Amino acid sequence: LEEQVRHAQKMEAVGQLAAGIAHEFNNLLTVVAGYAGLLERRLSPTSIERSSPALLHRYALDILTAVSRAATLTGQLLTFGRKQQQQLAPLNINELVTSSVRILRPLLEPHIAIVTDLSPDLGIVVADQQQLEQVLTNLAVNARDAMPHGGTLTLRTLNVWHESRPESSTPALFRSRQASDETIRMNPYVLLEVADTGLGMTEEVRQRIFEPFFTTKPVGKGTGLGLSVVEGIIAQNKGFITVTSEVGKGTAFQIFLPRGELL
Ligand code: ADP
């Protein structure tokens, strides 16, 4: 029965995703069709309407923006669906954080500080390095967007024993993770926390952040897929993710990855 429930939930998630994609693509196609139609009419030899080159240029730009957004969307969907090519290897998360900071630095504005607080005796995890880099990138981009006036991004690692189901987790989180409740309770984890000192979010927003296409960002800025991708990747690596947030104070994501034997 549990298997059937899981399958049904998966199908529901896939259906939701497909509906979201269709909706999103339709919106973008409408934009492209609209401006292409305008260009066609204004540039037609028989057209009596005259348009300034600046206006025509504007239409072309709007088409390019919509197309680029569609490309971002398909790019993220590819990540979303990329399950088979997972490359598992023993990883030291401290090293991953240190190397990722170099990649993240140019992504963040100069007025955002990056602080690392790495546990010296961190256990190893078996995971896909590229996937985890993607997770850090997505979380860092969100942190940046939440700190328009600057702030601090803190990356922290710690060995933990996870004793109970975290209170702050979302239903979606538990729907997609692989481990049973028993595994969660008994097993050692490496905790990787990504915290910002940004705007934070309300309880209503917090409950929806892992939904595909849920975004509070302006059109053209957010796809609402960043955290869905994060959640999917963490589940594929047999971990789970929780979040704590306070409006005006900041947000922290806690990523729990199953710890291998201590070396
Ligand atoms: P997107 O970034 O494209 O909106 P995400 O799935 O990455 O999509 O995030 C969904 C929403 O979660 C964001 O629009 C934002 O409202 C909220 N969110 C995510 N990360 C943070 C954060 N660090 N601080 C505040 N809000 C956040």
Please state the ipTM of this predicted complex.
0.98
Please return the burial class of 194, using the count of CB atoms within 10 Å of its CB with bins 0-12, 13-18 and 19+: buried
What digits encode the pLDDT tens for the residues 205-239?
999 999 888 899 887 677 788 898 899 889 889 89
163 contacts: CB under 8 Å, gap ≥ 6: 185
Q: Pick the residue whose CA is nearest to atom 25 on ligand 1.
A: 200
CA 171 – CA 102 distance, rounded (Å): 34
CA 145 – CA 149 distance, rounded (Å): 10
∠ Cα 56 59 63 (to 5°): 140
Ligand 1 centre distance from Cα of residue 70 (Å): 19
Per residue, what are the HEC states of 107-158?
HCCCCEEEEEECCCCCCCEEECHHHHHHHHHHHHHHHHHHCCCCEEEEEEEE
pTM over 0.90: no
What digits encode the pLDDT tens for the residues 17-56?
666 777 778 888 999 999 999 999 999 888 877 788 999 9
196 lines ligand 1 (CB under 6 A): yes
Residue 175 pairs with which residues in a beta bridge? Answer: none
